[in-house]
Amino acid sequence: MQAEIRTLVDISDSDAARQGQADMVLDRARWAASIFEGYDRETTMAIVDAVATCAHDHSAHYAEAVVQESGFGVAAHKKIKNELTAHPLVDFYRDQDFVNARVDEARKIVELPRPAGVIFALTPSTNPIATLHFKILMALMTRNAIVISPHPAVRKSSLQAARALCAAAEAAGAPKAIIQILENPTIPMVEAFMSSPKTNVILATGGTPMVRAAYSSSNPAIGVGPGNAPVFVDVSADISKAAQRIVASKSFDNSVLCTNESVLITTPDVEKQLIIALKSAHAYICNDDDVDRLRRFLFSPRGFNIEAIGRDATWIAESSGIRVPSNTKILVAPIARIGIEERLSREKLCPVLALHVAPTRDQAMAQARAVLRLTGAGHSAAIHARDEAVIMQFSGMVEAYRVVVNAPCSQGAAGFATNLAPTFTIGTGFFGRSSIGENVGPQHLVHWTRIAYNADADEPFGNYHGLGRAFRGPLATAPADGVPGSAAQRPVMAPQTSAITSTLDGATKDELRRLIAEELRDLLRK
């Protein structure tokens, strides 16, 4: 009798296995969110402040770590961004109450805050730690659980930073698993989390394919689009200050913020003085041959050369075959036109600034509008001017939801050199095919149940002051606690088992794969 031969099939990398892994992480997150929803504001803010302190204290360390891991950016500038997304971010929203009921006696309405629940958040390679700080603190301020999918190019640094914040939150009294991060994010794993019915909302920060994939996931999503900010220098501007601010902004962290100036536009009556001022601020003005070399180096038929992302101006110049002074901060490339045929008028996440001189002020504004229509619709624009009528005309012309006036656009549009809400998630609204046009903040992670009384004056309104939720402790036991090697003992690791298939369609998967090609192709080389 012939022996029966059985073949064991490895299903650990199957759709079902991945969905099962996602389910286990999300189940723990849902448990944490259900407990956290009962916390009072004092306890909630104590946790938020503890995490902000941890974020601030480790800002320099992770700035250095990210630059070392990714190979681009400026550590000193990343430290600033990491710090700005700690205490300053929390202080900006400190007076806003996302925990207690709001009572409107005049309208006889009581509003109860309802946290989203479980947030699945993606973080980019360009601003990984600042974005991680930002999204975690937003989630905690609104009593949500959060699961982070870090960019693979900065996975190690992101894991370490998330672990530190998770430990700080739990030490301050947060439920276990309120913060989790995927150890080995892959495209199929991201698909599983984005499509799971246990995910309540997706916070997508990244390229257009990632944002559209999030919107196609069947779950609510808050997505942001790419930038390509035009900056107009008007004859009414303080030209010297404008040049200094533009160079400082474009060179900040080697221009990896999507809010950086991409195309500088001016008029003939400003051109000569502006170029002199730019040179004084350590900008190098390219000649025609330099511009050709830059264009060939930065762009290919496949798109933007990812090797140039976050590199400094001298490195880009040397790689392009251009000789520049060693103190050069940015490269300025004069271009004759703006549009699809001129690749330098597209977004450039490096210290290369296109310069276009339009014949008139009206044409300059029209060209600024064209820059945003090329890419970056709904994102950001900047103007340097002292004529209020010009500022209003420009702001009404460009299809952007942030217009920064007489300030660095990199920091200003993100709320760090202006009084806009501080953010690392820029809403591009209807122009950019996004659901939110303002700077994304914690207010977007909580909705409100409205208790509405009969409007008739004869119907009395109740007394709701002082009523609300209170944290009664002690904490319940988290799912999987006490199981050796469980997620409870490894709060930032994805568990390994499964059972439901992914529901994302092929088109969405293709978009995710294009995202990886767009953002990771060369960064992941050993």
Q: Which residues of 228-255 are buried (b: 16+ CB within 10 A; e: fewer)?
A: bbbbbbbbbbebeebbbbbbbbbbbbbb
pLDDT at 66: 96
CA 336/CA 352 separation, integer angstroms:
16
CA 322/CA 293 separation, integer angstroms:
8
Catalytic residue among 54, 166, 258, 350: 258
Question: pTM score > 0.85 for this model?
Answer: yes
CA 400/CA 411 separation, integer angstroms:
16
Count other Cβ atoms within 10 Å, centred on residue 521.
Answer: 14
Per-residue confidence of the chain (526 residues) as pLDDT tens digits? 444 444 444 445 677 778 888 889 999 999 999 999 999 999 999 999 999 999 999 999 999 999 999 988 999 999 999 999 999 999 999 999 999 999 999 999 999 999 999 999 999 888 999 999 999 999 999 999 999 999 999 999 999 999 999 999 999 999 999 999 999 888 888 889 998 999 999 998 766 666 777 777 778 888 777 899 999 999 999 999 999 999 999 999 999 999 999 999 999 999 999 999 999 999 999 999 999 999 999 998 888 998 999 999 999 999 999 999 999 999 999 999 999 999 999 999 999 999 999 999 999 999 999 999 999 999 999 999 999 999 999 999 999 999 999 999 999 999 999 999 999 999 999 998 888 999 999 999 999 999 999 999 999 999 998 787 666 555 666 665 433 333 333 333 333 322 222 233 344 445 554 554 454 444 334 3
CA 224/CA 243 separation, integer angstroms:
29
pLDDT at 191: 87
Active site residue 258: yes
pLDDT at 312: 96
Domains, in order of start, for the chain: 44-95+117-224+441-446+497-519 (3.40.605.10), 229-412 (3.40.309.10)
For 508, residues 6+ apart whose C-beta sits below 8 A from its C-beta are 191, 212, 213, 216, 217
Do the beta carbons of residue 408 and residue 246 sit within 8 Å?
Answer: yes
| DSSP symbol at 201 | E
The first and second tokens of residue 242, run together, are 């404008």
β-bridge partners, 204 = 122, 223
pLDDT at 226: 84
Burial of 173 (C-beta count, 10 Å sphere; 0-12/13-18/19+): middle
CA 234/CA 360 separation, integer angstroms:
10
